[in-house]
Structure 1
Amino acid sequence: MNMPLDPADLHDCRDAFTSTLEVLAAANSDIVAVCNDSVGSSKLGGFREKFPSRLINVGIAEQNMVGVGAGLANGGKLPFVCAASPFLTGRALEQIKADVAYSQANVKLVGISSGMAYGELGPTHHSIEDFAWIRALPGVPVIAPADRIETAAAVRWAVDHDGPCFLRLSRVGVPDILPHDHVFELGESNVLMEGNDVTLIANGVLTHRALAAASLLEDRGLSARVLNMACVRPIDNEAIVRAASDTAAILTCEEHTIFGGLGSAVAEVVVDECPVPMKRLGVPGVFAHTASANRLLDDFGMSPEGIANSALELIDRKG
């Protein structure tokens, strides 16, 4: 069993988001932030202090918030629309579809405290459908960074990207995984560990757990390839096909329902181009219960040990 991570080594990706946004906003006066009475949870306090006229707080009115963001984009501004992911993607989905996606407005949607990060607040606050909802919309990249380094890199990419995108950020602390000079490339995954027996594909808060599972498998003489698949759309088809060809078994891990998210996106490629044994780990089509965020991941089989055990089952299916 792996030793628990030292809390000092865990970092909140929201901090990387806002610190990077403040640096970029200092150099680009078009950058504005729009939020729904969530200055605290979006960690926009520093942005408000530095750029008080460039923070628009619409109150608890998510549909209006997205419309305001689209209007600002149409007026030449570069809005980062920030809100708790369950309310941004659920309550304002029609506005995201019509005002942002269909119009290809240059709006950066930032889903804060995504997945099951709210833990004890329960099913109304879990955001385990957002990959599926936004992935279905044409022209909106869906991105879930694995650590603070990738978060900062994705924010820098978003500023330069001409068009909408959805950044999915958690409030649950994660360790640094990627090198400090990491450059985010849309649609490209990162091989974090090479292996030939099975491939583990994860993103967000699950990536470091997949790495820990690979270490457990290594202790048993098995080698697992670990892919950090931050982009759910566009998905890295080439990396998936290569993994299926090389390892002949793929396990996906996501803080999301198993329907319509990362696992589904990977499965679509596998079915079309390289059928191999595959399993999707996630919330199995139920409303996630109430518990701490990390406990919920464990309960749904996504502890490092749970991931490793699922990988062993897949390896057995290979024959």
Structure 2
Amino acid sequence: MNATVAEAIAMRDVFISETARLLDDNPRLALVLADISAGEGRFAQAGVDHPDRVINVGIREQLMVGVAGGLALAGLRPIAHSYAPFLVERAFEQVKLDFGHQGTSGILVSVGASYDWSEGGYTHFSPRDVALFDTIPGWTVHVPGHPDEVTGPLRAAADSDESVYIRLSNRRNAEAHASPDGKLTVLKRGGQATVVAVGPMLDNVLAATADLDVTIAYAATVRPFDTQTLRELAGTTADTIALVEPYLAGTSDHIVNAALTDRPHRLLSLGVGREDLHRFGTPDDHDSWHGLDPAGIRASLSKFLSV
């Protein structure tokens, strides 16, 4: 079972503290906010310490991303941060134009994931964000499943000239497992199927497959996807693959299918459904409704493996 929101908030806390340190150490780095987190602890102090490189544009997310793109054109390395639906879906035109079309790069860091703040309603849900990034070439996408998996990708992004999206969540696994090189981490080996768990889905997958003869691989970096290791693992399980993602079901199907295009294979895709459920509930409720709790994952896998 995923940890509670109170415990999981540490993922964003790590991001805030580390970004403040990076702003102190790297004069090229800039932070653009749209009110979210602007007054919190280290960010508030960073605004005092670096008023020319910490910019709060108010509740104007499209402007936030546009300003970040402009800072990139001026030679700075921008970080833009807000809830996922505001940062990616609401401001997607600016991501497409001010970064993609202009040939600039920056770091986008979201919170809220697919339905972390479920009481906020559908305006705060964002299961489509990673699928949207697949429409713009060149983005690296990290989906940490534990607070300890945030710092490494953030530091690497700050030192690079790549376009990077870091998808933070209030959901978390009990332990960190991410590989520092972005490769799949193999946690268990079996013979029936290869099950790839993305980010905070891992603990639910482990609970669902505890007594199944399957290989479990963990991914915290999903773009680029480690297709080399996937091919190697799939070859040991008769090219039978299950993919469990914390965002829109089927988001990574095209990558898996392309990686195995020369081999017959079977693919089960589990993730957030496309239907608007018109429900609030808790994040655990939404896991259950979308079949992403241990019982739902187990039922889907058992049916898939029995065919």
Same fold (TM over 0.5): yes
Q: 2 CA distance for matches of 1:89 and 1:10?
A: 22
Deviations 1:135-162 (Å, cap 9, x if unpaired)? 2101111221121121111111211221
Residues 231 and 183 of structure 1, relative CA distance in 2, 3 Å threshold: closer
Residues 167 and 269 of structure 1, relative CA distance in 2, 3 Å threshold: same
Residues 11 and 35 of structure 1, relative CA distance in 2, 3 Å threshold: closer
Q: Name segments (4+ residues, structure 1) moved above 4 Å.
A: 4-11
Deviations 1:247-305 (Å, cap 9, x if unpaired)? 1321111222224x2344334434x1433222111123212432211210122111122
Runs of 5+ unmatched residues, structure 1: none
Residue 237 of structure 1 corresponds to: 227
Residue 97 of structure 1 corresponds to: 96
Residue 150 of structure 2 corresponds to: 151
Residues 33 and 12 of structure 1, relative CA distance in 2, 3 Å threshold: same
Residue 244 of structure 2 corresponds to: 253
Residues 68 and 131 of structure 1, relative CA distance in 2, 3 Å threshold: same
| Deviating more after overlay: 43-52 vs 164-173 | 43-52
Q: 2:300 aligns with which of 290, 310, 314?
A: 310
Residue 185 of structure 1 corresponds to: 181
Residues 312 and 156 of structure 1, relative CA distance in 2, 3 Å threshold: same
Residue 274 of structure 1 corresponds to: 263
Q: 1:287 aligns with which of 273, 276, 280?
A: 276
Q: 2 CA distance for matches of 1:63 and 1:210?
A: 36
Q: 2:209 aligns with which of 211, 214, 223?
A: 214
CA RMSD of aligned residues (A): 2.3
State the 1:316 CA deviation: 1.5
State the 1:6 CA deviation: 8.2
Q: 1 CA distance for matches of 2:168 and 2:64?
A: 18
Contact 2:3 2:171 (8 Å CA) reproduced = no
Q: What code does the residue aligned with 1:76 have?
A: G
Q: 1 CA distance for matches of 2:33 and 2:287?
A: 28
Q: 1 CA distance for matches of 2:234 and 2:280?
A: 36
Q: 1:26 aligns with which of 19, 24, 27?
A: 24
Deviations 1:11-69 (Å, cap 9, x if unpaired)? 631122122222322221222211111126xx853122144213211111111111110
State the 1:106 CA deviation: 2.7
Q: 2 CA distance for matches of 1:300 and 1:177?
A: 24
What percentage of aligned pairs have identical amino acids? 29
Q: 1 CA distance for matches of 2:15 and 2:147?
A: 8
- Secondary structure at the aligned position of 2:30 is classed as strand
Q: 1:298 aligns with which of 288, 293, 306?
A: 288
| Deviating more after overlay: 93-102 vs 168-177 | 168-177
Aligned length: 302
Residues 263 and 303 of structure 1, relative CA distance in 2, 3 Å threshold: farther
TM-score w.r.t. the length of structure 2 is 0.89
Q: What code does the residue aligned with 1:26 have?
A: D
Q: 2:195 aligns with which of 197, 200, 213?
A: 200
Residues 15 and 300 of structure 1, relative CA distance in 2, 3 Å threshold: same
Verify: 1:48 aligned to 2:37, yes or no: no
Q: 1 CA distance for matches of 2:92 and 2:132?
A: 8
Verify: 1:68 aligned to 2:58, yes or no: no
State the 1:130 CA deviation: 0.4
State the 1:7 CA deviation: 8.2
- Secondary structure at the aligned position of 1:13 is classed as helix
Q: 2 CA distance for matches of 1:148 and 1:310?
A: 29
Q: What code does the residue aligned with 1:287 have?
A: D
TM-score w.r.t. the length of structure 1 is 0.86
State the 1:174 CA deviation: 3.8
Q: 1 CA distance for matches of 2:263 and 2:294?
A: 27
Q: 2:34 aligns with which of 30, 33, 36?
A: 36
Q: 2 CA distance for matches of 1:10 and 1:171?
A: 5
Residue 262 of structure 1 corresponds to: 252
Deviations 1:207-229 (Å, cap 9, x if unpaired)? 222222232xx2xxx33222222
